[in-house]
Amino acid sequence: MAPRSRAMISRLPLDEQLAAFRAAVSRNDVLVEVMQRAAGLGLPGWYLTGGCLFQTVWNVVTGRSPDAGILDYDVFYFDDRDLSWEAEDEVIRAGREVFAGLEAHVEIRNEARVHLWYEEKFGVPCPPYTSSEAAIDNFVATTCCLGVRVEVGGGWRVYAPHGLSDVFDLVLRPNPVLAPREVYEAKAARWKGQWPELTVLDWPQRP
C-alpha cells in the first residue's frame, strides 16, 4: 500500500475501507497472532484495541515496517460480575501463559473496573462503563476509537464508531469526552515524533 493511496482509501465506501483496514492490520504478524490467541481466552466482550491498530495502519500507508513504534497490544474485556482486582488479576495471569513466547507486551484490562482507578491516574472522574465499546468511545482521540476481535467462525468484528477515514489520512482528531487536554497533547506529541506525517488537530477551545 503506497503512501499516495491514503487519500483514495479514505474516500472509498465504508465496506471497501473495512477491507483495506483488514488488509493493512493483517500485515502485522504479531497483531494477528495476539488477536488469534486472545480469542482463545474466551473473555466476555473482548477487543484488541488501542495503538496497535491505528499505528499499524499508519506504518503500512507510510511504508514502514507494520509493527514499527508499537509499544504494546491492548486487550479489553468487560465483566461486571466481579469487580475485584483479584478477579482481573486472574485473567491477566492466564493471559501471560496464552501470550508467552510472543515478542510483544500484551496488556489485558477489565473495562468494568476502570472507574475504580481512573480518577487517581488522570485527575478526572470516570463514570462506570457499560461495555467494552463504551470504553473505546472514550479514547482521547476519535482516531484511536477502534476495536477488533475474531468471532466464532473466524470472521472479524470491527468497532469503529468514528469511521476509518482519519486513520488512513493520518489525522489525529481530539475526543474531548473524558481524558483531559494534557493527555491528548502528550500522546499527540509522542506520536508526531514517531510519525511526522501526522496532522494533529487542536483541542477545541471552550466558548
Check whether 181 has a pLDDT greater than 90: yes
Looking at the chain, the whole-number percentage of residues with pLDDT higher than 70 is: 95
pLDDT of residue 7: 57
Taking the CA atoms of the chain, what radius of gyration do you get in angstroms? 17
- The letter for the amino acid at 203 is W
Which residue from 198, 168, 197 is spatially nearest to 17, judged by alpha carbons? 168
Residues in the chain: 207
pLDDT attached to residue 70: 96
pLDDT digits (tens, 9 = 90+) for 6-59: 656 766 777 888 999 999 999 999 999 999 999 999 999 999 998 999 999 999
Lookup: cell for 59: 506504518
Give the per-residue pLDDT at 9. Answer: 73
Does residue 182 have a pLDDT over 90? yes
Mean pLDDT (whole number) for 155-173: 95
Within 13 Å, how many C-alpha atoms sit on residue 157's CB side?
15
Banded pLDDT at 207 (limits 50, 70, 90): low
Residue corresponding to grid cell 461495555: 131
76: helix, coil or strand? Answer: strand
Binning pLDDT at 50, 70 and 90, where does residue 2 land? Answer: very low
Q: Are strands 73-77 and 106-110 parallel, antiparallel or unpaired?
A: parallel
Rounded Cα gap, residues 62 and 136, in angstroms: 25
Model confidence, pTM? 0.92
Give the pLDDT of residue 206.
73
Side-chain half-sphere of 28: how many Cα atoms within 13 Å?
A: 34
Kindly state the average pLDDT of the residues 48-77.
96
Q: Are 151 and 128 in contact (CB under 8 A)?
A: no
